Amino acid sequence: MKLLNTNASNAKILKSQTGTEYLIASLSLMPDDLICPARHIAECAKPCLEDTGRGVMISVKTSRSSKSAFWHQDNNKFIMQLMMEIARFRRYCLKQGKKPAFRLNTFSDIRWEQYGIPQAFPDCLFYDYTKISSRLGKTPDNYRLMFSYSAALKYKNQVTRALKTDVPIAAVFRGGMPASFLGRRVIDGDKSDLINMYSKNIIVGLKLKGGKRIQASTSPFIIDINQEMELAA
- 50-84 pLDDT, tens digit each: 444 454 557 788 999 999 999 999 999 999 999 99
Confidence at residue 215, expressed as pLDDT on a 0 to 100 scale: 81
- Give bridge partners of residue 170 from the DSSP assignment: 148, 204
- Taking the C-alpha atoms of residue 89 and residue 100, their distance in angstroms, rounded to an integer, is 7
Instruction: Give the pLDDT score at 21.
Output: 96
Concatenating the DSSP letter of every residue in 52-82 gives SGGGGSHHHHHHHHHHHHHHHH-HHHHHHHH
pLDDT of residue 47: 60
Q: What is the pLDDT of residue 210?
A: 75
Q: Is the pLDDT reported for residue 154 higher than 60?
A: yes
The pLDDT score that the predictor gives to residue 161 is: 97
pLDDT at 153 over 90: yes
Integer Cα distance of 106 and 184 in angstroms: 25
Predicted local distance difference test score (pLDDT) of residue 152: 95
Query: Measured between alpha carbons, how far is 64 from 54 in angstroms, rounded to an integer?
Result: 11
Instruction: Average the pLDDT over each of 5-14, 141-150, 167-176 and give the range with the smallest value.
Output: 5-14
Please report, to the nearest 10 degrees, the dihedral formed by the alpha carbons of residues 224, 29, 18, 166 taken in order.
Answer: 60
Q: What secondary structure does DSSP assign to 166-214, as a single string?
A: ---EEEEEESS--SEETTEEEEETTS-HHHHTT--SEEEEEE--SSHHH
Mean pLDDT of 11-32: 93
Identify whether the C-beta of residue 10 lies closer than 8 Å to the C-beta of residue 81: no
Per residue in 91-130, pLDDT (tens digit) is 999 999 999 999 999 999 999 999 999 999 999 999 999 9
pLDDT of residue 59: 78
pTM of the model: 0.90
Q: Give 199-214 pLDDT, tens digit per residue.
A: 999 999 999 887 777 7
Res. 229: pLDDT tops 50: no
